Structure 1
Amino acid sequence: MNSRIADRIATLVFWAGALLVIVILGAMIVYILYHGGKYISWDFLIKPPQVVRAGGGIGPQIFNSFYLLFLSMVVTVPVGMLGGIYLAEYARNNKLTEAIRLSIETLNSLPSIVVGLFGLLAFVNMTGWGYSLISGALALTVINLPLMVRITEESIHGVPDSLREASLALGANHWQTICRVVLPSAFPGLVSGAIITSGRVFGEAAALLFTAGMSSPALDFTQWNIFNPASPLNPFRPAETLAVHIWKVNTEGLIPDLRRVADGSAAVLILVVLGFNLAARWLGRKIYRQMTAT
């Protein structure tokens, strides 16, 4: 077998693998949207679920998911960016750096259920917060922080050294070069990484079962005092997210319109996660074109 035939065979194998993944993913998306898309309506998106009679929706679960996403990203993005900047610009090749990278890789490969059990011990029991939004947000931070660090580090490494050298040659110090040259050049990758990380947060369920809880109190959306137990902005209340709601509805089956709520919730979750990923690609390309004038 000559090299040309081997190259064609390898190319066909790679194309076949890629097409197989696309077909499987497309079939799953079409199946979920076909069975759940017909139940999506405005009332379904804003009403709370009904336990006694049919006709409920997923309004509180959607709000809890986005609020939990906000609380988690408030911690994940700045800490992850600072860690990535340190590894990319300041860290030297020594045992400390190797230990940090090993810790990041280990955290990045931990099953989410293990992080949930850690969150149950550290954030739920030891702090006394109980099942709450803040406990779930910190558990999700543990999951997504290694990814944000790696994305920041890789984005900074992608900036040409010539830009750094030009900035230093003009009299800027290292920190000024990072803030005014490196980070703006790496900004498209940082934005894409943050949005992709947000999509992971929205679809997480296992870690939240042990931290944020599997139920939500009756929320009063006219109450904006964050210390009120009925306030939707209270970070110390338990909160059932959309992903947890799908698991709970399918396992317990206590509501009369089980199939409608489960299928509709799954379709909404798929659309939101797809929206995060498509937004990341579109926004990253748009920012890159604006910054490079191409």
Structure 2
Amino acid sequence: MHDLDPALLRVYLRRLGFAAPPPPTLHTLHLLQLRHSAAFAFETLSTLLHLPVPIDLPSVAHKLLVEGRGGYCYELNGLFLALLRRLGFEAQPLTGRVLMGATPGVPPARTHLMARVRLEGRDWLSDVGFGGMVPTAPLALHEAGPQPTPHEPYRLDREGDAFTLRAWVNEAWKALYVFDLAAPAPIDLEVGNWYVSTHADSPFLGRLVAARTGAFCRHTLRGGSYAVHRLGQASMRVELRDADAVIGLLREVFGLRLPAHSQLRQAIAQQWRRPAEDEAAPAQAVAAT
């Protein structure tokens, strides 16, 4: 198993506002999760360009910490899990089935990665990779009722061995994903990532989506449609005029250093010509649209 390179660990911690490794406490976990979703954007530039998405730790660390990119759940939560373990947290991966946008009565595949963290005998769900609806605080797994975060309230409903994560959005509890506490094998993550990054039915293949949190707000991008969702206020939406406007937004708002790919501008421009079926937004990427 690879460990985080010490030099990259220092870069990672600085991005999250720490001059030295913090102690593995619940307070630290709260800070890490809140800062991570603001510092590292959820983005699908690789799948937009039909590029491979390796999820081994050295590749992900290089992409996010050296290349200045973001990623999706297998990358963001994969790197976050490595950080948690490096800091001394007892953390393991979990996988979930995304319910937003899924066909009712048809169980979707396990295509979402998150973390289970045990602290002082209690289990917490920690997730920095659910795009526009990423929870910005750890959630107590066995606590009934709403749980506050710096953004929306969330709750975890349990039925047997299954937990359903819900968020309070537009005056209703919206189901986000369902999961159990079985730890996946590494091959399960490889298969899930292969589906998300290559399968024709993947909600990310050939599509541009991005998300990043701010203070009391969320930024989301789908194709050429940019939105800012502020707590307690109406969302602001802007339809961007062209690929250059999107590229500027990705750099300035989402904080990305874009890949030097000859087809990037063309791939972004094609987002305006996607069919109406894209109105079923990818759950991990867009919130409250």
TM-score bin, normalised by smaller chain: under 0.3
| Larger strand percent | 2
Taking structure 2 as the reference length, the TM-score comes to 0.22
| Larger helix percent | 1
Q: Relative contact order, CA 8 A, sep 6+: which one is greater?
A: 1
